[in-house]
Structure 1
Amino acid sequence: MPLQRLERLSEIAPHTWDALVPETQPFLRHAFLSSLEDSGSLGPHSGWQPEHLLHVEGDRLIAALPSYRKWHSYGEYVFDHAWAEACERAGIDYYPKLLTAVPFSPVSGPRLLAATIEDGFELLQSLPGYLEIEGLSSAHINFTDPFTDAALAGQPGWLQRIGCQYHWQNRGYRDFQDFLDALSSRKRKQMRKEREQVAGQGIDFEWLEGRQLDQAQWDFVYACYANTYAVRRQAPYLTREFFSLLAERMPESIRVVLAKQGSRPVAMAFSLVGGDSFYGRYWGCLAEFDRLHFETCFYQGMDYAIANGFQRFDAGAQGEHKLIRGFEPVITHSWHYLRHPGLKSAVKDFLERERVGVMGYAEEAKTALPYRQG
């Protein structure tokens, strides 16, 4: 089956693409991915060249892989830098490679977009030949859901990798105090003290949906977001225009909390919602305040999730400090197809050892959770 390739998502109608995307998944929607492209956040200059692969029969879209041709491994959160470095030492070309993922967002969800696994099989079976024709070293499908896992498990040559994130689960809490009551006394006191420290600095919070922010407020949101990169002397992945386009195209999915000292905004956290899940994405502040990060990024999100009936709070990748605040270890999955036989063999051995370590870590991490025992 010859694959069809889109180099811009604008080449396909939003309703055609979104027909394959679950309504609960905001990150795969045409509005989100096209905003990345149309804002200049993606493109050859960034090392992320859109290369969406489609299986089309007649005028009907059967299956799709939202994909990108990559010349580096930044912004992926499934780290293969060591594989690339090994290839460089051995004189093997690792880039360009093909990545199926949500750019800059380590959020698990659908990657093979199809109504049934059978609908997606032909597309997956065509990938190895496509890689060879295009001179791509490998294909990587990051942060997959069970549907995509099941489809890839039946395909030869793919290697599965696991990782660990931390998600908070809303167990029917009536309010934040109800959540605190589920914790050990020491942890409960620690969280209450952290929140009191923020309140004691005269900081209040305002929640806004996408349609409620004006351009001046979006300027502030972007300034905060960009500052998190500036302090590390890095360039931000996203452009200012991305936020305006997203607010125009899918405002109903956007949530922003502004931290204010008096009438002056000093920090923000930007999130998306979909189905029963609340996704914390970007944060930033323009001044230093004690414990403000924990309050803005975690406790405010928990409060909002409880008040609005969200069952899961995904606050992003990494961060062991989330454990003591009630975020539980969750295993994530990615899949990798490597054309070079020597590289594939070495990575296969590595992933088997890594898997044992990750599973052991996830079990050990549970001992740091703050919940009462018994």
Structure 2
Amino acid sequence: MHFEFIHSIDQIPQSFWYSVKKTQDPFCNYAFLAALEQSGSLAVESGWQPFHLLAYQADTLVGMLPLYKKNHSYGEYVFDFAWADAYHRHGIHYYPKLVNAIPFTPVTGARLLVSDSHDPESLLVDMLAYVKQQLPLLAFSSIHCLFPSKRVSNSLTQQAMPQRLSVQFQWYNKGYTSFDDFIQRFTARRRKMVRKERAKIAAQNINVVKHFGASLSQTEMDFFYQCYCQTYLKRSGHPGYLNKAFFTQLLNTMGDNILLVIASKAETPIAGALYLYSEDQLCGRYWGAIEEADALHFECCYYQGIEFCIDNKLASFNPGTQGEHKILRGFEPTYCYSNHWLEDRPFQHAVERFIEQETPGIKAYKHNAEQLLPFKQPQG
């Protein structure tokens, strides 16, 4: 087996994509990765420069590892700013580094595209081992695998890439038949809270509609992009990393995986939330509003997603990272994983100690969050 680094997904022969194992992950696939690159959303200023690794068996391409050169740590949602600061204080460069991740997408899932002829887990381990060997020659400080599955993360831990935990809040479908069936699991107080929040939407003369499949068009996507930019500007002073061309290409190539929730007031659109979904999971990705309204974020980003999962029998719903307010609305604390290899041995040992010291606090946080869930205690 031999390997090759490339700087664009367009350098990969199309024949490879037909041989790729079909994955439930809507993000680790050609359409999503190509939309990021071909739209220009990964321009140098974004901080995500493609540096993918290809694996060949003889002369046949069998695997593609999405890798990105990073000159900062934004958009990763696994926070290593303290590590970068420690490097800086010792006069050592932490950037550039390499990450095996999906840009701006903190969702657990596949971290390798692989042909049907190979096992994804073992090939991922082999490819990351090759990257570790090449770090000194490529002048990267480190390699980081972000949001792999627990099983893959455990395998990488056995390859001297220590595992770091984080916590997200996810919704799980327990075979619910309706939204009301779902909140019947809540205590009376929390059930009343949810119903009150949903009632506020109608009381404000707001109508919320789910667009997917044949009901989804460029008109809804254009309006959503307006919301996305305005909300980013309000929060951070820039219009967002993803441009209009990205969302248009996503609609054209992944329309069957998109749910777009649009809220209107007196028939005028005022807010939107964009989700991607597979056969078993819904992922809430982006939200924006041009007019604020009480409880509107909860309705568009949480309750509409839960309804969609119940109606379409999806097993889980990842509404996005962070946000303890999700707990009271039935989103359960769930571990996420990352694995890290730093070429500088003393710093690698320091990071290992950091993770070891950090882990009990992460576990305690998850435990405490579980105590706040709104579900009724089981009888007996």
Q: Same fold, TM exceeding 0.5?
A: yes
Please give the residue correspondences for 1:265-344 in structure 2 after superposition, counting only pairs within 5 Å: 265-344=269-348
* Residue in 2 that maps onto 1:141: 145
* Residue in 1 that maps onto 2:79: 79
* Residue in 2 that maps onto 1:68: 68
Q: CA separation of 1:18/1:26 partners in 2, compared to 1, >3 Å: closer, same or farther?
A: farther
Q: Which moved more, 1:351-360 or 1:213-222?
A: 213-222
What whole-Å deviation, never above 9, does each CA across 1:126-162 have from its counterpart, x for those lacking one?
1122111100000000001134224313313x12101
Same amino acid, percent of matched pairs: 41
Question: Which amino acid is 2:200 matched to?
Answer: Q
Please give the residue correspondences for 1:339-358 in structure 2 after superposition, counting only pairs within 5 Å: 339-358=343-362
Match of 1:232 among 228, 231, 235: 235
The structural deviation recorded for 1:198 is 1.1
Match of 2:263 among 253, 259, 272: 259
* Residue in 2 that maps onto 1:9: 9
Q: CA separation of 1:278/1:348 partners in 2, compared to 1, >3 Å: closer, same or farther?
A: same
* Residue in 2 that maps onto 1:44: 44
What whole-Å deviation, never above 9, does each CA across 1:69-112 have from its counterpart, x for those lacking one?
01000100001111111111110100000011010010001114
- What secondary structure is seen at the aligned counterpart in 2 of 1:3? strand
Please give the residue correspondences for 1:70-149 in structure 2 after superposition, counting only pairs within 5 Å: 70-114=70-114, 115-116=118-119, 117-149=121-153
1:368 aligns with 2:372: yes
- What secondary structure is seen at the aligned counterpart in 2 of 1:31? helix
Aligned length: 373
The structural deviation recorded for 1:237 is 1.1
Q: CA separation of 1:199/1:14 partners in 2, compared to 1, >3 Å: closer, same or farther?
A: farther
1:200 aligns with 2:174: no
Q: Which moved more, 1:206-215 or 1:255-264?
A: 206-215
Q: Is the 8 A contact 2:16 2:62 kept in 1?
A: no
What whole-Å deviation, never above 9, does each CA across 1:267-316 have from its counterpart, x for those lacking one?
01100001210111101110110110001100111111111111101001
Q: CA separation of 1:318/1:21 partners in 2, compared to 1, >3 Å: closer, same or farther?
A: farther
The structural deviation recorded for 1:345 is 1.6
The structural deviation recorded for 1:211 is 5.5
Q: CA separation of 1:19/1:38 partners in 2, compared to 1, >3 Å: closer, same or farther?
A: same
1:172 aligns with 2:165: no
Q: 1: distance between equivalents of 2:199 and 2:150?
A: 41
The structural deviation recorded for 1:170 is 1.1
Q: 2: distance between equivalents of 1:19 and 1:359?
A: 40
Structure 1 unmatched ranges of 5 or more? none
- What secondary structure is seen at the aligned counterpart in 1 of 2:236? coil
Q: Is the 8 A contact 2:28 2:113 kept in 1?
A: no
Structure 2 unmatched ranges of 5 or more? none
Please give the residue correspondences for 1:15-26 in structure 2 after superposition, counting only pairs within 5 Å: 16-17=16-17, 19-26=19-26
Q: 1: distance between equivalents of 2:264 and 2:96?
A: 45
Q: 2: distance between equivalents of 1:190 and 1:330?
A: 23
Q: Is the 8 A contact 1:224 1:285 kept in 2?
A: yes
Q: Is the 8 A contact 2:28 2:112 kept in 1?
A: no
Q: Which moved more, 1:208-217 or 1:170-179?
A: 208-217
Q: Which moved more, 1:49-58 or 1:192-201?
A: 49-58
Q: Is the 8 A contact 1:14 1:30 kept in 2?
A: no
- What secondary structure is seen at the aligned counterpart in 1 of 2:241? coil
Aligned Cα root-mean-square deviation (Å): 1.6
TM-score (norm 1): 0.96
The structural deviation recorded for 1:57 is 1.8
Q: CA separation of 1:22/1:68 partners in 2, compared to 1, >3 Å: closer, same or farther?
A: same
Q: Is the 8 A contact 1:166 1:318 kept in 2?
A: yes
Q: 2: distance between equivalents of 1:274 and 1:127?
A: 30
Q: 2: distance between equivalents of 1:176 and 1:36?
A: 34
- What secondary structure is seen at the aligned counterpart in 2 of 1:93? coil
- What secondary structure is seen at the aligned counterpart in 2 of 1:278? strand
Q: 1: distance between equivalents of 2:43 and 2:18?
A: 22
Q: 1: distance between equivalents of 2:18 and 2:242?
A: 23
Q: 1: distance between equivalents of 2:304 and 2:125?
A: 42
The structural deviation recorded for 1:14 is 4.8
Q: 1: distance between equivalents of 2:17 and 2:67?
A: 14
Q: Is the 8 A contact 1:25 1:109 kept in 2?
A: yes
Question: Which amino acid is 1:297 matched to?
Answer: C
Q: 1: distance between equivalents of 2:237 and 2:355?
A: 30
- What secondary structure is seen at the aligned counterpart in 2 of 1:27? coil
Q: 2: distance between equivalents of 1:146 and 1:281?
A: 22
Question: Which amino acid is 2:66 matched to?
Answer: P
- What secondary structure is seen at the aligned counterpart in 2 of 1:307? helix
The structural deviation recorded for 1:60 is 2.2
Q: 1: distance between equivalents of 2:17 and 2:153?
A: 21
- What secondary structure is seen at the aligned counterpart in 2 of 1:219? helix
Please give the residue correspondences for 1:28-43 in structure 2 after superposition, counting only pairs within 5 Å: 28-43=28-43
Q: CA separation of 1:14/1:149 partners in 2, compared to 1, >3 Å: closer, same or farther?
A: farther
Question: Which amino acid is 2:40 matched to?
Answer: G
